[in-house]
Amino acid sequence: MGPEGMAEFARALPKVELHAHLNGCVRGATLEELAREAGGAPAAAEVRAALAGPRDLRACFALFPLVHRFATTRAALARLVRESLADLAADGVVYAELRTTPKDRPEEGLSRRSYLEAVLRAMEEHNRSGRIGGAAGGRVHCEGRLIVSVDRRESADHALATVRLAVELAAETPLVVGVDLSGDPAVGEWSTWEPALLLAHAKGLPVTLHFAELPGRASEGRSMLAFAPERLGHAVRVDPALESELLATRIPVEVCLTSNLKTQSVATLGEHVCARLLRAGHPVALCTDDSGVFDTTLSAEFLMAAEAFGLSRRALFEFSLGSLEHAFLPEGLKESLRGHFLVAAARLGVATPGGDA
């Protein structure tokens, strides 16, 4: 099949997004509009210049504060959730776990709790517009869930407060499904956040950790593996010894190809850890990371993977279906989504494992 046929297939494929930072999903045009509303033409020009600039890891971590400056209001957060889930649905994503770091913004009347409540309210409204595993009027419905992020800049107490907030909200709504550790990988020490992440586990919340984003951090990586998170993000700078240890754990890895290329974490996809994980049969979920910041979509990630790793349509389908197994969802809801995949397999003309589509 030619590249166009494969691109079309990747778009039509039902997909599951497990690693997407809410503020990183912001559309460029939305960010510029929010900046113009807040600070007029100079603020809009500042955003345009930043969006036109480089995207290495340093530059990304300089861009996020700009997004936060203009997007941390109740109305903007609701808009980010609505637009992210609409963009994902338009790309054929049927289920998405968005993650975000709760932020205090007293001048906007936002506490960390009300920040998350604003996100959850918008997500709940969006979810009401469709049905998990279903389609509304021929449109794909993307069902949203929330992972609460602990930022590596947080102190031990702050991280504990973040996890307690996640636990409280998870008791109030099934939309909160887990806890993440993210933020600038050059900052902080694992021992600072470990007690908070242990609390998440003790309270039954699954945890995903940004892992091995920088070289020379094998000891932190080892501590993270020993913690036994439910998933890991990136794993892009594992040294050979850490890679063997990772393979032995079978912990699913959220792989973000465009993000890793643009941040120059890896020079080519041929040397990307994903190639070796797939060869070893290690569980992998393809993800976008920051679709707005890196100007990507999940179908673009699947197309890249197909081309770089020589995957057939059937292999892509199984790859996508496999991601669903790693979602932080109860079995009943996974089963509804599996049903959706099986119907799609027949439509897409791919044979399913054990099926004859």
Q: Known catalytic residues?
A: 213
Stretch that binds ligand 5GP, among 2-10, 181-189, 300-308, 320-328 (CB under 6 A): 181-189
Report 153-172 residues binding ligand 5GP (CB under 6 A): none
- How many Cα neighbours within 13 Å face the side chain of 281? 1
- The nearest distance, CB 60 to ligand 5GP, in angstroms, is 6
Q: 249: which 2 tokens? A: 């754990």
Q: Is residue 252 close enough to count as binding ligand 5GP by CB under 6 A? A: no
Helix (H) or strand (E) holding 96: strand 93-100
Q: How far apart are CA 354 and CA 274, in angstroms?
A: 26
Query: What amino acid is encoded at 302 in this protein?
Result: F
DSSP string, 61-85: HHHHHHHHHHH-SHHHHHHHHHHHH
Which member of 101, 296, 297, 299 binds ligand 5GP (CB under 6 A)?
101
- By rule CB under 6 A, what string of x and - marks binding of each residue 209-248 to ligand 5GP? -x--x-----------------------------------
Name which of 243 and 289 has its Cβ closer to ligand 5GP. Answer: 289
Q: Is residue 258 close enough to count as binding ligand 5GP by CB under 6 A? A: no
Give the position of tokens 């973000």: 256
Stretch that binds ligand 5GP, among 84-92, 140-148, 178-186, 244-252 (CB under 6 A): 178-186
- 131 Cβ contact list (under 8 Å, min separation 6): 141
Distances (CA, A) of 1 to 5, 20, 111, 336: 6, 30, 52, 30
- The nearest distance, CB 328 to ligand 5GP, in angstroms, is 17
Q: Is residue 144 close enough to count as binding ligand 5GP by CB under 6 A? A: no
Q: Is residue 188 close enough to count as binding ligand 5GP by CB under 6 A? A: no
Q: List residues bridging with 209 in a β-sheet.
A: 181, 232
- Characterise 51 by phi-psi region: left (phi > 0), alpha (psi -120 to 50), beta (else): alpha
- The nearest distance, CB 339 to ligand 5GP, in angstroms, is 31
CB 101 within 8 A of CB 183: yes
Q: Is residue 151 close enough to count as binding ligand 5GP by CB under 6 A? A: yes
Stretch that binds ligand 5GP, among 132-140, 179-187, 244-252, 317-325 (CB under 6 A): 179-187
Q: List residues bridging with 146 in a β-sheet.
A: 98, 176
Q: 106: which 2 tokens? A: 């007293």
Give the position of tokens 């993977």: 305
Name which of 252 and 292 has its Cβ closer to ligand 5GP. Answer: 292
Q: 47: which 2 tokens? A: 């955003």
Q: List residues bridging with 232 in a β-sheet.
A: 209, 253
Which member of 73, 84, 100, 323 binds ligand 5GP (CB under 6 A)?
100
DSSP string, 129-140: TS-TT-EETTEE
Name which of 149 and 162 has its Cβ closer to ligand 5GP. Answer: 149
Which member of 36, 46, 64, 111 binds ligand 5GP (CB under 6 A)?
64
- By rule CB under 6 A, what string of x and - marks binding of each residue 191-210 to ligand 5GP? -------------------x
- By rule CB under 6 A, what string of x and - marks binding of each residue 282-301 to ligand 5GP? -------xx-----------
Query: What amino acid is encoded at 150 in this protein?
Result: V
CB 334 within 8 A of CB 327: yes
Interface size with ligand 5GP, residues (CB under 6 A): 18
- By rule CB under 6 A, what string of x and - marks binding of each residue 15-44 to ligand 5GP? ------xxxx--------------------
Q: How far apart are CA 132 and CA 111, in angstroms?
A: 30
- The nearest distance, CB 57 to ligand 5GP, in angstroms, is 7
Q: Name the site residues for ligand 5GP (rule: CB under 6 A).
A: 21-24, 64, 68, 100-101, 149, 151, 182-183, 185, 210, 213, 259, 289-290
